[in-house]
Amino acid sequence: MKLMLHILTRPADGLVAALIDPTLPATAGVRVEVIDLSVGDPDYGALVEKVFAADAVATW
């Protein structure tokens, strides 16, 4: 299964939410993961591993 990774660098606005939401349930055979760096204390080591494991990465 392919992995599509969305990385949020600031709180998602309406445009970003509209662009990400349609991909979540509609894409067969692709696992979609969203990582929000604007909340909490992100684990950057795990993030780097996920970036290199992903087939596609989008930064918002």
Q: What is the pLDDT of residue 22?
A: 63
Question: Distance between CA atoms of 29 and 46, rounded to whole angstroms?
Answer: 23
Q: Range of 32's domain?
A: 2-59
Question: Distance between CA atoms of 51 and 3, rounded to whole angstroms?
Answer: 10
Q: What is the pLDDT of residue 24?
A: 65
Residues 6+ apart with CB under 8 A from 19: 60
Question: Distance between CA atoms of 1 and 14, rounded to whole angstroms?
Answer: 29
pTM (global) more than 0.85: no
φ/ψ of 21, rounded to 5, equals -55, -45
* Residue pLDDT, tens place only, 16-57: 877 776 666 555 778 889 999 988 899 999 999 999 999 999
Count how many domains the chain has: 1
